[in-house]
Structure 1
Amino acid sequence: MNTAEDRAPAPARGAERLTCTLDELVARASVLAAAGSRRILGIAGAPGAGKSTVAQAIADSLGGQAARVGMDAFHLANSVLAAHGSRDRKGAPDTFDPWGYANLLRRLKTNNEPVVYAPVFDRSLEESIGSAVPVARDVPLVITEGNYLLLDAEGWRESREQMDEVWFLDIGDGERQLRLRRRHEAFGKLPEEAEAWALGSDQRNADVVASTRERADLIIDLTHAPGETPAQA
């Protein structure tokens, strides 16, 4: 039986809600990939909702038809955050470079260059690495994922304009916070530190993300077929 914390709020009017499997999402993404010109699919959700895992699974399933580019690669560097006094809030909207992200998506959408090289965020380093993800001109679908794809703020709005669809992954707070604690511990935090981060900074960011959900094209309750492993990122 679901607890109150695991029951997701009702979707906003006009937002389509879909309960589906990962295979069904792959099928939807394949339609975008076959549209005839470059399409960009956004996958949004709160920290720990499974965005990275789902985006990568779809990209892997579509093979050369899709490439994955993450919003997290536009984290400001730790040295910049330290200078701003915001190192302990890393992950909040103002600790990213949304204009840089918007400009990358614009380059990907116009698709005028033989190859666009996107950055990637390395969780083990807690820093971004530039020019790490090549996206060739003949790749029809770019999948991008992150917390703030639907945020109504400067830079983020310009990013959203480049996306053809945005899907919002919905998940109860109990499971999501458990995933976050496990992830923080896997990357070196002590259990008490992992819990403090998951229930503190991560939760504050999750509350911001939840307020953007009604702007999605599709709100997704992802189910898992037998033998499938639930998304972990």
Structure 2
Amino acid sequence: MEIHELAADAWRLAEREPGPRVVLGLVGPPAAGKSTLARALVAEVERRRGPGAAGYLPLDGFHLSNAQLDRLGLASRKGSAPSFDVHGYAALLHRTVTETGHAIYVPDYDRTLHEPVAARHLIRPGTRLVVTEGNYLACDEPGWTAARRWMAEVWYVDAPVEVRDRRLVARQLAGGRTAAEARAWVDTNDRPNGEQVERVRGNCDRVLPPIGLDISNGRD
């Protein structure tokens, strides 16, 4: 399926749902291509509907800081579900849907700093469609279910295991790990995280086949 078809489907969802703003969630294992697809959808909707018609809200902006991960003993499980501020994420989704009269600033994750950064993205007052993406959007645990209630639909982004594995190793190498360290991180952290996501695939409204978009930037 081409990006223009998916963007058209996303916009039809926005037109179908009541209210001034609709959130579409993209979920999938690490390195499935979620953020690349989300940004492509936003760009295509804006190309068709005008600047500000769509906005981007990544879960990655709600990574706990490295200091908080150290405090909680989660440094070796960075990227796992407990390493995110899920309640902060759910609260921002709530604001996104209900506070449409002013700008909403959205955090992101900086892969150079290896830390979350505030206010990198902007959702404008007239934005009709917001695309959010992350690993755990379809999970059944408390916090994630609170976030899910603000999404009109959640689409599962699929990708072959071997493709995701190759991307994940490349991401760790780009982040400064040695080949051995990258392999160990993927095997002990990214792979279990991906398996958790795969188990809740049935909670999604739609499963997308692998999308042929360039994700050489190392995002997921």
Shift of 1:203: 0.3
The answer on whether the counterparts of 1:120 and 1:133 sit within 8 Å (CA) in structure 2 is yes
TM-score (norm 1): 0.86
Q: Distance in 2 between matches of 1:128 and 1:206?
A: 21
Q: Report what 1:46 is aligned to.
A: 29
1:95 aligns with 2:76: no
Deviations 1:131-161 (A, max 9, x none): 2222111000000000000111111100000
Name the aligned partner's letter for residue 28 of structure 2: G
Equivalence for 2:137:
149
Alignment partner, residue 203 of structure 2: 215
Q: Quote the Cα distance in structure 2 between the aligned partners of 1:80 and 1:116.
A: 25
Among residues 52, 60, 70, which one is paired with 2:58 in the alignment? 70
Amino acid corresponding to residue 167 of structure 2 in structure 1: R
Q: Taking structure 1 as reference, are residues 147 and 110 closer, same or farther at Cα in structure 2, changes over 3 Å only?
A: same
Out of 24, 41, 45, the position equivalent to 2:5 is: 24
Match in the other structure for 2:49: none
- CA apart distance, 1:230: 5.8
**2:150 corresponds to which of 151, 154, 162:** 162
Select between 26-35 and 188-197 the one with higher mean Cα deviation: 26-35
With 47-56 and 25-34 compared, the bigger mean Cα shift is at 25-34
In structure 2, the partner of 1:6 is none
Question: Could you report, residue by residue, the CA deviation over 1:35-56 in whole angstroms, capped at 9, with x for unpaired residues?
Answer: 4620000000000100010001
Aligned twin of 2:40? 57
Question: Is there any run of 5+ residues in structure 2 with no aligned partner, and where?
Answer: 47-51
AA of the residue aligned to 1:131: A
Q: Please tell me the residue identity of whatever aligns with 2:214.
A: T
Cα distance change of structure 1 residues 223 and 104 upon mapping to structure 2, 3 Å threshold: closer
**Number of residues paired by the alignment?**
211
Q: Is the 8 A contact 1:117 1:131 kept in 2?
A: yes
Counterpart CA distance in 1 for 2:202 and 2:196 is 12
Report the aligned-residue RMSD: 1.6
1:176 aligns with 2:183: no
Q: How far apart in 2 are the matches of 1:117 and 1:229? A: 27
**What's the secondary structure of 2:88's corresponding residue?**
helix
Tell me the TM-score normalized by structure 2.
0.90
In structure 2, C-alpha distance between the alignment counterparts of 1:66 and 1:32, rounded to whole Å: 12
Partners of 2:14 and 2:175 in 1: CA distance: 34
What's the CA shift string for 1:95-134, capped at 9, x where partnerless? 1111100000000011344111111111111111112222
SS at match of 1:176: helix
Deviations 1:14-55 (A, max 9, x none): xxxxxx233321221122344462000000000010001000
TM-aligned CA deviation for residue 171 of structure 1: 1.4
Partner of 2:109: 121
Query: What is the percent sequence identity of the aligned residues?
Result: 37
